[in-house]
Amino acid sequence: MRRTSNRKNQDLPLFWISCMSLFFEILMIRWLSAEVRIFSYFHNLVLLFCFLGIGLGCLLTKKEAKLAHSFAIIGIFVLLIRLSPYMGIFSIKNISSLLSLGTNFLIWHRPVSDRLDLTVLAFLGGTMSLLCCMALLMMMFVPFGQFLGRLFNEHDRPLRAYGVNILGSITGVWFFAVLSWFSTPPAIWFAVGGFGCLPFLLGRRRLQQVLLAGCLLIASVLGLVEMRTSELNVWSPYQKLTVRPLNLSIKGRTIRYGYSVLVNSTGYMLMTNYTPQFMQRYPSLYPSRELLPYDHYNVPYQFTDQRDHVLIVGSGAGNDVAGALRNGAHAITAVDIDPVIIQLGRQLHPEAPYSNPRVSVVNDDARSFFKKTTDHYDLIVFGLLDSHTLSSSYSNVRLDNYVYTLESFREARRLLKPTGVLVVIFEVTDDFIGARLQKILTTVFGQRPIGFEVRSGFRGWGGYGFVAGDRAAIERKLSTDARLKELVERPHGVFDAWSASGVGPTTDDWPYLYLARHGIPILYFVVFGLLILFSIIGVKQVVGQRHSMQWHFFFLGAGFLLLEVQNISKSALLFGTTWMVNTVVISAVLIMVLLANAVVITWPVRALRTYYFALLLTLGVNFLIPFDLFSQMPVLVKGFAAAMVMSLPIFFAGVIFSTSFARATNRSGAFASNLIGATVGGMAECLSFVTGIKSLLFVAAVFYILAWSAEGQHVGAARRS
């Protein structure tokens, strides 16, 4: 009875610190990526430094863990972010613009100067700022790793301890998912996380009081900022949305004509009132009426007379839907991935398009909807979908990447009626993006799309448009509308240059719309170079001697993270890039690891050779099976079949890790080596920029072969000790 009680006393702290570790990992990824734009492009960078901090903490189990220091670092981040408007070029929010040295990686900024010397100085300044952020992030997670490592070493059953760790991690994932579901702000996240960490300071009254006070202070500062009367900040499961009223003073009267919406502090859309009644009342608010039918929310309907059923993907808060209603669409299906943006449109859009009975609203990923719907459409409109937000903390794929691939447009074409028309409007920030979209549509429709330019103005941001589909119907409209024909002919030189461009299309295996060509951008070498530098310095300071690193576990960690990336990417293609799909996939991966651990506990493995062969074989199967095969299956069959294929390598990898972990004499060192290896696996993901996502399976196989070769060294060390 006493032994059972001891196990419970060991299990509960390990479970809870595992839960809190993953909770704070996701919290910092969400918060920093929303407030500091550079992390919107490197979500997994935050994750990797969390791993590195926890890994180093696992190697420092003999030193006292001070969680109060972690909350002090959070406080520093709060100050740096909130004081950023007063810090000028030294603001951490300017890191992305300072790092815009290379033009082969678009991050919504151009170099700060045409002068090379100033640009290089700015780049060095941005690098130093990023270096400081990385150091703070790593140090924040060291105490969590210290608690984890100590509890692993003290536990009398290593595999049970590992299982408890996985259960805690799953709980942490869903703990944060619940908070995301209710669109809670960071003030709530930090308050909940701070109270959750209090059990680890019981008996240390002063530290407990410091932590509680710090946690409440951070929550208060964040809460006060969120309560500004001039704007509304709402946190969706994907991003931070800031809503500001649009007012204009006319003869001493304040007229509200709509709202602006910012995503992660960057301009995203305007919700303006274009009802005939409002326009007649305030004609001075609007540009020439002649231009209105040709702005980017009305112009798609000038290319076709067929409007029985319209599909809008990326409908946002409803501007495109309002345009469809104004132009007489009989039935409209509006698809958007973010439920909070849809809700904002329902509540605040001046024209209330989502309340119209002709509109059906679908909260889903565009690719997922393409696979599910059985309807066919007269007109398909791709709204301004360029989100520049990553779909997952474990992947470099952005929310909109899979929407603009060759396969995606083929799926969209299958949904068009024979006389249907497809219109894509995109904010082309570099010519290679325009050339790429043009080439994809040319390949899919067999002829070059008609192009036009939409200028920025009162309605919002402009871009370029592409029209494809029933060419005869489109030409008829052009022949009867001189203004439309002029709109199409004006940017001919630009589109001719794009046609001559040698840029390649994006595909589901290489979906990187914002990369000019296959290759790793300069910025990645800089960022990952800093990560390697931190890893070498940190490990050398903590471990002391190079041979103390447990390479077997190091390579297992690197291989496993790449497997997780593969599962997330494939699931995004099959089921959509929604936050719920990502949460379920990450949980499923951890559950499969938990199952493998249970199998090893029940039936101990003596020789791992069979499992290595099985792992490499299933990696080969995953590479050879085309995932389009699953797309045609019914949902339940598709889910089961895809889960079986994707989970088998995870299962065999889990068996290998659990068996090796049971044999380890220094569990905290093994766990630390595994996490530090995962950072290398995260860096290796960028190889997909060169060869495609599928090729990461080969890289994972190499890591597991290296782990296999290092297994003898690991076993020998265990026997000697």
Q: What is the CATH number of the domain that holds 315?
A: 3.40.50.150
Residue 130: predicted pLDDT: 83
Q: What is the pLDDT of residue 657?
A: 95
Domain count, the chain: 3
Is the residue at 568 inside a domain? yes
Domain span including residue 529: 1-230+523-534
Highest mean pLDDT, choosing among 154-163, 238-247, 325-334: 325-334
Please indicate, yes or no, whether residues 88 and 22 belong to a single structural domain of this protein. yes
554 plus 530 within the same structural domain? no
Residue 237 lies in a domain: no
Residues 592 and 494 in one domain: no
Same domain? 527 vs 490: no
Q: What is the pLDDT of residue 546?
A: 44
Biggest CA-to-CA distance, the chain: 89
Which pLDDT does position 545 carry in this prediction?
45
Q: Yes or no: say if 378 and 309 are a contact pair by the CB < 8 Å rule.
A: yes
Residues 208-237 have a mean pLDDT of 66
Mean pLDDT of the chain: 82
- At 585 the pLDDT is 78
Q: Considering 490, 509, 534, which residue would you say is the last residue of a domain?
A: 534
635 band by pLDDT with thresholds 50, 70 and 90 = low
Residue 344 one-letter amino acid: L
Residues 152 and 124 in one domain: yes
Contacts of 120 (CB under 8 A, 6+ apart): 101
494 & 527 share domain: no
CA distances from 665 to 161, 212, 425, 445, 495 (A): 14, 37, 59, 62, 65
In a domain, 516, yes or no: no
**Residue 679 resides in a domain:** yes
Q: Quickly state the pLDDT bin for 256 (edges 50, 70, 90).
A: confident
Q: Could you report the per-residue pLDDT of 439-481, keeping only the tens digit for each?
A: 999 999 999 999 988 876 656 667 789 999 999 999 999 999 8
**Predicted confidence band at 141 (pLDDT cuts at 50, 70, 90)?**
very high
Residue 391 has pLDDT above 60, yes or no: no
Any residues with CB less than 8 A from the CB of 237 and at least 6 apart, and which?
A: 180, 181, 183, 338, 339, 340, 579, 580
478 with 529, same domain: the answer is no
Q: Could you tell me if residue 146 is inside a domain?
A: yes
Higher pLDDT, 292 or 236: 236
Between 292 and 58, the higher pLDDT residue = 58
Q: CA–CA separation, 142 vs 617, rounded Å?
A: 37
**pLDDT beyond 80 at 559:** yes
- The pLDDT score that the predictor gives to residue 214 is 65
Rg of the chain's alpha carbons, rounded to an integer? 27
Whole-number Å distance between alpha carbons of 601 and 164: 13
pLDDT for position 574: 66
Domain match, 574 and 690 both: yes
| Residue 53 pLDDT greater than 50, yes or no | yes
Is 278 a member of any domain?
no
State the CATH number of the domain containing residue 558.
Answer: 1.20.1250.20
Q: Which of the listed ranges 49-58, 232-241, 354-363 does the model predict with the highest average pLDDT?
A: 354-363
Read off the pLDDT of each residue in 253-278 and give the average, rounded to a whole number: 83
Joined together, the tokens standing for residue 463 give 């871009």
Structure tokens at 520: 């790793």
Q: Are residues 219 and 294 in the same domain?
A: no
Same domain, 349 and 474: yes
Q: How many CA atoms lie within 13 A of 83 on its CB side?
A: 8
Q: Which amino acid is at 376?
A: H
**pLDDT band at residue 144 using 50, 70 and 90 as cut-offs:** very high
530 and 577 in a single domain? The answer is no
Burial of 228 (0-12, 13-18, 19+ CB in 10 A): exposed
Q: How many whole angstroms separate alpha carbon 422 and alpha carbon 424?
A: 7
- Least trusted range by pLDDT, from 56-60, 104-108, 120-124, 272-276: 104-108
> Residue 65 has what DSSP assignment?
P
* CB proximity list for 562: less than 8 A, separation 6 or greater: 681, 684, 685, 696, 697, 699, 700, 703
Do the domain assignments include residue 507? Answer: no
Residue 585 lies in a domain: yes
pLDDT at 721: 41
Q: In 68-100, which positions are buried (b, 16+ CB within 10 angstroms) versus exposed (e)?
A: bbbbbbbbebbebbeebeeeeeebbbbbbbbbb
Beta bridge partners, 335, equal: 313, 362
What is the DSSP secondary structure assignment for residue 416, as one 8-state letter? E
pLDDT at 717 over 80: no
For position 390, what pLDDT does the model report?
43
Whether residue 493 is found in the same domain as residue 626: no
Reported confidence tier of residue 399, pLDDT bands at 50, 70, 90: low
